[in-house]
Amino acid sequence: MSVPPLAAVALLTLAVGCAGATASTRALPTPDASTVDSLFRDYAGPDSPGASVVVIHDGQVALQRAYGLADLDQRAPATPESNYRLASLTKQFTATAILLLVQDGKLRLDDRVVDVLPGFPPYLREVRIQHLLQHTSGIWDYEDFVPSTQTVQVKDRDVLDLLSRTERTYFPPGTAVRYSNSGYAVLSLVVQQVSGMSFARFLHERVFVPSGMPSTVAHEEGVSTVPRRAYGYAVGPEGFIPRDQSNTSAVLGDGGIYTSVVDLVAWDRALDSHGLVSAQTQTLAWTPPTLPDGKVSTYGFGWFVDDDGGRKRLSHHGETCGFTNAIVKYPGQRLTVIVLTNRAGGEPWRLAQRIADLWLGTSLPASRPWPFEHLPNAH
């Protein structure tokens, strides 16, 4: 079965002058879809792992495309419904799970983790929930303790044992920023401990179902399945090779969600409509902390946050075995761009930014950095 050289699936809907749109959103241009297609030539080959892309403007799908293959063995084309492993784009969902428990009155952001989670290492007694959310805990990344030769997959609960292999933090909690996947693995355990249900079930019942995301799953091998699953690949000496799982791919809290750009449209609407957490709480999640030295961080709760040419920009990248993804969101302009790919490498955040710039009509350099590029250990 051959795959068209451009989009395997394409849908273009222009949302101009929608009722209720602000003057700033109505003023955004609507680029031609072929301009976006040209950015994804490397993903559109008949034998290549692919990409799925969506542009959401003023709550409506403005552009939706898919390129290449979701499964090379089966020659299954990528579609907007293909479900990719999100990697670190998962962190915004983990943060939302914590905020739901805070909203329920079952947890406080300034709670000490050691008082909430049995087995949390005693030397981390001053680490608070908000430190984990904001990457200001100073705790080591669990991946530093996992040898590349290990074949047994790490689970979230194993992270506590891995953190016990050291007795120090990079800095006193709350004083600096260092990206750590450990923090979000621990947060998934907090959700489980406080809610009394598994992290995957909590996400399903409290986040995915209410948001209208029927195909999204925090995947546990042998427990759940991923419909229309995209499989991961890397570039080998003679072409693309399977690279779908690593020894850390089973950790859920920092990167274990599979979803599609179709479901992420529903997620974006849930954020904008405050269907899960209140507007006040969402604003808190999108506000980075000021550190004791007066510097402002670039990380809120599950999102990088910065100023991009006078516009508030929310973003995140995700890199894991066989998948590389990106999201960029401009809440003031009600514009979101999401790029999911099932291949290692590449810079989909550059593509997402270039697409966003097309809609924004900005003259800023396309090569300007994303905030994660300035944060230690961000990967």
Q: What is the pLDDT of residue 168?
A: 94
* Beta strand residue intervals within 212-310, DSSP E: 217-218, 233-236, 239-242, 257-259, 304-308
Q: How far is CA 46 from CA 43, 190, 192, 293, in A?
A: 9, 44, 43, 53
Identify any residues that bridge with 188 across adjacent strands, giving them in sequence order. Answer: none
CA distance 348 to 320: 13
Whether residue 321 contacts residue 230, with contact meaning beta carbons closer than 8 Å, is answered with no
| CA-closest candidate to residue 66, choices 50, 55, 86, 85 | 50
Domain 7-85+227-245+256-374 has CATH 3.90.400.10: no
Residue 28's pLDDT is 58
Q: Which of 19, 216, 7, 210 is nearest to 100 (CA)?
A: 210
pLDDT value of residue 301:
98
177-202 burial, b if ≥16 CB within 10 A, otherwise e?
bbbbbbbbbbbbbbbbebbeebbbeb
| Cβ contact 131:137 at 8 Å | yes
Terminal Cα-to-Cα distance of the chain (whole angstroms): 36
From residue 171, alpha-carbon distances to 44, 151, 168, 298 in Å are 45, 32, 8, 18
| pLDDT number for residue 247 | 79
Q: Are 85 and 220 in contact (CB under 8 A)?
A: no
Closest by Cα among 112, 131, 130, 132 to 122: 112
Bridge partners, 291 (sequence order): none
**Radius of gyration of the chain measured on its C-alpha atoms:** 20
Q: What is the pTM of this model?
A: 0.91
Mean pLDDT, each 10-residue run in order, the chain (379 residues): 38 34 49 92 96 97 97 98 97 98 98 98 97 98 89 92 95 96 98 98 98 97 95 93 88 96 98 96 96 96 96 96 97 97 96 95 84 71
Q: 219-239 b/e with 16+ CB inside 10 Å = b?
A: beeeeeebebbbbbbeeeeee
- Sign of dihedral through CA atoms 250, 251, 253, 254? negative
Q: What is the largest CA-CA distance in the chain?
A: 60
Q: Whole-angstrom Cα distance, residue 174 to residue 137?
A: 6
pLDDT, residue 376, reads 65
Burial of 167 (0-12, 13-18, 19+ CB in 10 A): exposed
pLDDT given at position 16 = 30
Pair 37, 7: CB distance under 8 Å: yes
- What is the three-class DSSP state of 334? coil
